[in-house]
Each structure stands twice: as C-alpha cells, then as structure tokens.
C-alpha cells in the first residue's frame, strides 16, 4: 500500500474547505465596493438636489428682480402723467403703464411657480440626504461585518492550511505530486471506490484498475473523471 494514500482523503476535504473559504473571501472586495458605490451615488444625489434647489431659488430671485423693475417702471410712468401735454401722449403713457402692470402680474405668477419648485426641490433634497445617511450607516454597519468576516476567514484559512501541511507530510512525494496535479484541475481530487464503482462520477471501474488498487504499488485514477481512487475503507484494500 502506498504510504499515506488514505491521508489524501483528509487532504482533499481540507482543500475543499480552503477553496470554499477563499471563494467567499474573494467576494468581500466586491461587497465593499458595492457599499462605496452606493454611498457615492447617494452623495451625487444630494449634490444634484442641492443644485436643483439653487436653480429654483435663483429662478425666484430672477422673477422678483423683474417684478421690482416693473414696479419701478410703473411708479416712474405714473409720475409722468401730469407732465403729458396731449391726449395721444397720455393714451400712450397709460398703455405703457398697463403693459408694465401686466409684466408685474406675470412676474408674480412666475414667483409663485418658482416657490412651488423650491418646495419640491427641498423635499427632494431631504430625500437625497436621507438616502445618504442610510448609505453612511450601511458602510458603518455592513463594512464592520465584512471586516469581521474577513478576519474570521483569515483565521480559519490559517488553521486549515496548517492542517493541510500535517496531512501532506504523511504522503510520499510521488503521490503528493500526482495529487497536486489532480487538484489543480478538479475538486475534490479524490474519489472513493465502492462496489467497484467510482463514487464521484458513478462509473464502473475495470477489473484491472481494482487489481492495481489492491496491489497498492501506484496511484490509480478514474478513467472517466480522472480523480485519484481510494477504497472506501482501508480494510477493503487489504
């Protein structure tokens, strides 16, 4: 029997556990990046909402300036009424005053619309700020969980790698080399044999393969799935 052949079972188990933990660990940077992207998008939302509010307020100020100009014009024109000498000039002045007052009315309407826009923009800003606060809270809470999980994974991986070294130390160099080549292509790298069948791919094994396994002179691999074959229990190989 090849030295340490049954240690490959434990080695294969440990390698499967290591692979699973490494796969999980590889997802953690993506999880952190997702939190950062969510926060960045929320911050951009606040910035856009602040800009929209600023534009709405600027629009209100612009219409207020227009209204002030129109009011000043009306006051000026009304002050000129007593200076007009002819009926035609007086009629033209009254028309000009009426146009200025219409401009005031239009500006008042625009101001009201701008005020409504400001309220809408303020509400949108509050929602954006709430989303940013949620993103910050998520980074604090979920980020801490990710950090804790990473530390736990590192600890578990360290323990498993030390355990792997222990199992590998009991396997001869040639067998270990075959195992390393196999595990690089597929996991698990080892398959049990039960009832002359590979339990990994469920394909029957030829009698010659069973005979070679019982001799225990070299590593036998499944002709179908290429995994290293080991009898279900050591006693079966005796």
Please, which residues have CB within 8 angstroms of residue 19's CB and are 6 or more apart in sequence? 187
The band of 217, judged by pLDDT with boundaries at 50, 70 and 90, is confident
Topology of the domain covering 17-169? Helix Hairpins (1.10.287)
Numbered ranges of CATH 1.10.287.1490 in the chain: 17-169
Report pTM: 0.72
pLDDT tens across 116-159, in order?
999 999 999 999 999 999 999 999 999 999 999 999 999 999 99
Structural contact between residues 164 and 15, judged by C-beta atoms closer than 8 angstroms: yes
My answer on whether omega of the bond before 188 falls inside 30° of 0, hence cis, is yes
């Amino acid at each position: 029997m090849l030295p340490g052949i049954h240690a490959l079972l434990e080695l294969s188990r440990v390698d499967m556990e290591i692979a699973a933990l490494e796969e999980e660990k590889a997802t953690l940077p993506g999880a952190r990046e997702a939190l950062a992207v969510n926060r960045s998008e929320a911050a951009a939302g606040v910035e856009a909402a602040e800009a929209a509010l600023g534009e709405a307020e600027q629009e209100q100020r612009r219409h207020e300036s227009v209204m002030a100009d129109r009011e000043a014009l009306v006051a000026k024109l009304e002050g000129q009424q007593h200076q007009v000498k002819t009926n035609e000039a007086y009629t033209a002045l009254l028309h000009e005053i009426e146009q200025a007052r219409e401009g005031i009315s239009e500006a008042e309407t625009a101001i009201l619309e701008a005020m409504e826009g400001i309220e809408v923009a303020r509400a949108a800003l509050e929602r954006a700020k709430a989303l940013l606060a949620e993103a910050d809270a998520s980074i604090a809470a979920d980020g801490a969980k990710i950090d804790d999980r990473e530390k736990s994974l590192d600890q578990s991986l360290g323990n498993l790698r030390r355990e792997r070294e222990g199992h590998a130390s009991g396997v001869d160099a040639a067998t270990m080399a075959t195992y390393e080549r196999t595990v690089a292509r597929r996991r698990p790298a080892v398959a049990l044999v039960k009832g002359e069948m590979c339990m990994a791919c469920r394909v029957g094994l030829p009698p010659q393969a069973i005979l070679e396994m019982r001799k225990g002179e070299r590593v036998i691999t499944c002709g179908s799935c290429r995994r290293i074959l080991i009898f279900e229990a050591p006693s079966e190989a005796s």
